[in-house]
Structure 1
């Protein structure tokens, strides 16, 4: 362990980077070894406090760092060599950038005498990463290392952003007199909310005849308070995909998701609403939202208010502090009983249809039936990671959540996210059941990192919807009348590949075998991959 002294004397840049990261609670670094970071790798090998997770591709390293940040709320760290190493990180960093996950990328750079020359792999990395990084800098002197590193980490944690530090190859092994900085402890003060602002919001809430609440992941700590507000206000609760596991499906006001894959009957109701309260949510799907409603937004970050959403009033603060104040201030509000009845009718209608969709017995197996089998098999507090594509919308449509934590690529929507996210989630939460739900196309993008699970004994289960196509793209081609070109996939025998990688592989072709096989996979002591032959069903809400 590191000495509590905040002063380092004559230690190498590589040593100080590791000590500074440890001081701020970093447990692991994801990356791929390369020439420009050998000096850093040497120091990593000399300590055992921070674990290095060697993956097969840098994009996976960055996706794992982003997933760790989403799972824990803490800093995720990835490492790569210069040039192509950073280039490969960009996909995963894009996910962190758009989903506001605090991620630090450290990359090597050309030796200091070669910076700006025609040296192999050299590029101005600050320019390359600029669109994605809130902060990026090049280390120019050994003594500046912890100044730059602590600034990068603070920027990521405070702003929920990507930060980046380039370190020239020769500087890693140079001695430095830099000191270690402690992590600033942010204490939430008891700052009083301006009562005038609360009054303004409540005045608008009271004008509602058809109120609706749209909650996102920022509502996580205020679930019971939001349900109470909905009961008093007579509002339905809609959720973004990120909040799917936040509210229990049994909540009487909960209508489910909105947008493609959400409650198909909620759209018409939502479009009739006259006052919408957004709580910790940035999701505003065009084509599903009301055009003339008054929109109020509660968010912890001022910069999120009105970002692509027609917000009339914004109030800054945490949902758990603000929602009880709104409920208390509503007083004797008179609900629109017709609207409340409509909410309950829509909820009941979709619940009955959803139940039936999950019982389909056709061959190949219907996506809704696969989702229902997963729902029946996973633990109530499991961590579920989603890949991007057809699996996302079917999961959103049919999965009825309890307390599961759902991790996915929200705004960047990169294919290949499901497996890396599951690997990171299990490393962070080893006591949790972790299940990745992926499409065949998405898994093929990160297939090599099945070996990462074996290397580090990461016990996860991966479920593949094997429909032999980029199904979402095929659906859109069908809906738009386009020629279905090159959306079919040339798939391997995934179960055999899993076995070759020392996973346990299962194949399901019969609907009746779903739960039994999934339960076997989930109970197996080791990584398991379940391949389900999936019907190529066009999602009912597909638009061309």
Structure 2
């Protein structure tokens, strides 16, 4: 007879629900929070969230805001942003924020409920083919129909989002959340390290060494390489031009910094940029037609190979570790003697704009000139503050007039949705609670998301919101006038924003002078409650849209 005591007992199987498996896998990959709105199709997920503490649920007032928050967190941190919503209309409302993440290449995962398994494909209320619905703004979308597929499908979704900087989506039938699996979570695999092609480095250096009128075009995602970018600029003797929304990537005080090109940029840059014979474009696809050189040789550097050659015709493309690439270029660029006449033109372009811009920024009018509002903000915020921009006229005034040090700017760069500012500010404060967070919004943008003033109060987030209040969708009005059209639908019916904010639990006040704004900023930026400053703003057409 065999000795039964010598036979090891098999370990008992571990049964875990799909809802718990989702949270376990997210936690293993560094997930911290899920933004969303509760609906009956995700009750199972909500119950699982309530029974643990590692992953928080941030309950917002509208699903669009949830997805915009997930997108903003992903942009700010580089980590996966996660949002969740009800089936059907919940997903439909997420689409705006998912579009923002998709076009701005932010890694976001959306989890939505779905009809029960036995109702899929029927006339069940709110049922729709969600994979078809989300196709335009996602790179991966799957329907989960068996509990044993949850880990593999979830990891595939997360891996797709993180590696390709895109949106992924999972539809989970409401009854599947409670089903169990005996499988285990999947460990995160280290990202593959791409190597830089030495032959392409040599080709790029050949182009750079041939330059007499070089320009550096820098995107916001290059901010981690600021020191190397400044060294390249000085060694190569080039001007530094920022792509749309890249404020703070390189300090405005750098002698080669020429500010932005295109909307909201330095209006004098285009004339200089068009003369460039070689352009080194780093982490950007911004190439505004009519403002860029036609014959320049473009060396495009991007961490994501999918971005190479997007929007611009490149002569050389380099992908991989940006720091390594810039180090290789700097090491081999010497000796290089910049053209002194080109250096002179760069400095003249910078100085000319500074003089013009000072006149614009120093107007003490009431209602306030938009540029004077931006100057006051610039002079009172911390060097490492996060600035969330809404879409609209206020954004262009910011990009034109803000002289950044190293502040981080969040905006809807390509999707350009109004209402993005407040959600981004809330997500930024949750992600970086030790930093000042300021939202700059027009009255049209804040009007779209006012319900989520309550979200900032609920989670005790001391953000500062500055509302450019001029009673008009100013950009749309000015664009229509510029085209010789009669503006219609641009006049706004606004509430008393300060009273609305106070009713939601914010500190708030109306601002009518620069002195009042400066005092309010001094008091607000170190407070413990969210603050809204309703700034009476003059109806001044942005210079880019003058008739």
TM-score by length of 1: 0.96
Q: How do 1:309-320 residues align onto structure 2 when only pairs under 5 Å count?
A: 309-320=312-323
The answer to whether structure 1 residue 458 and structure 2 residue 456 are counterparts is no
Residue among 14, 17, 21 paired with 1:9: 14
Q: What secondary structure sits across from 1:523 in the alignment? A: coil
Number of the residue aligned with 1:110: 115
Number of the residue aligned with 1:370: 373
Per-residue CA distance 1:415-460 (angstroms, 9 max, x = gap):
0000000000000111011000001000111110000011111110
Asked whether the equivalents of residues 213 and 236 of structure 1 are also in contact (C-alpha less than 8 Å), the reply is: yes
The answer to whether structure 1 residue 82 and structure 2 residue 82 are counterparts is no
Number of the residue aligned with 2:435: 432
Number of the residue aligned with 1:34: 39
User: What is the CA-CA distance between 1:322 and the residue it aligns to?
Assistant: 1.1
Asked whether the equivalents of residues 376 and 514 of structure 2 are also in contact (C-alpha less than 8 Å), the reply is: no
Q: What secondary structure sits across from 2:168 in the alignment? A: strand
User: What is the CA-CA distance between 1:543 and the residue it aligns to?
Assistant: 7.0
Cα root mean square deviation, aligned: 1.4
User: What is the CA-CA distance between 1:469 and the residue it aligns to?
Assistant: 0.7
Q: What secondary structure sits across from 2:433 in the alignment? A: coil
Number of the residue aligned with 2:470: 467
Number of the residue aligned with 2:74: 69
The answer to whether structure 1 residue 344 and structure 2 residue 347 are counterparts is yes
User: What is the CA-CA distance between 1:186 and the residue it aligns to?
Assistant: 2.4
Number of the residue aligned with 2:9: none
Q: What secondary structure sits across from 2:336 in the alignment? A: coil
Aligned length: 536
User: What is the CA-CA distance between 1:349 and the residue it aligns to?
Assistant: 1.0
Number of the residue aligned with 2:5: none
Asked whether the equivalents of residues 82 and 110 of structure 2 are also in contact (C-alpha less than 8 Å), the reply is: yes
Number of the residue aligned with 1:183: 188
Number of the residue aligned with 1:388: 391
Number of the residue aligned with 2:198: 195
Per-residue CA distance 1:210-231 (angstroms, 9 max, x = gap):
1111011232222222222212
Number of the residue aligned with 1:533: 536
Number of the residue aligned with 1:333: 336
Number of the residue aligned with 1:324: 327
User: What is the CA-CA distance between 1:147 and the residue it aligns to?
Assistant: 1.1
Q: What secondary structure sits across from 1:131 in the alignment? A: helix
Per-residue CA distance 1:462-483 (angstroms, 9 max, x = gap):
0000011111101101111110
User: What is the CA-CA distance between 1:199 and the residue it aligns to?
Assistant: 1.6
Number of the residue aligned with 1:277: 280
Number of the residue aligned with 2:292: 289
Number of the residue aligned with 1:503: 506
Asked whether the equivalents of residues 109 and 168 of structure 1 are also in contact (C-alpha less than 8 Å), the reply is: yes
Number of the residue aligned with 2:417: 414
User: What is the CA-CA distance between 1:276 and the residue it aligns to?
Assistant: 0.8
Per-residue CA distance 1:345-396 (angstroms, 9 max, x = gap):
0111111222222110122110000000000111111010000000111000
In the aligned structure 2, how far is the partner of 1:159 from the partner of 1:473? 34
In the aligned structure 2, how far is the partner of 1:90 from the partner of 1:454? 25
Residue among 499, 524, 529 paired with 2:527: 524
Q: How do 1:218-257 residues align onto structure 2 when only pairs under 5 Å count?
A: 218-257=221-260
**Which stretches in structure 1 are left out of the alignment for 5+ residues?**
1-6
Segments ≥4 residues shifted beyond 6 Å: none
The answer to whether structure 1 residue 168 and structure 2 residue 176 are counterparts is no
Number of the residue aligned with 2:4: none
Aligned in 2, Cα 1:8/1:242: closer, same or farther, shift over 3 Å?
farther
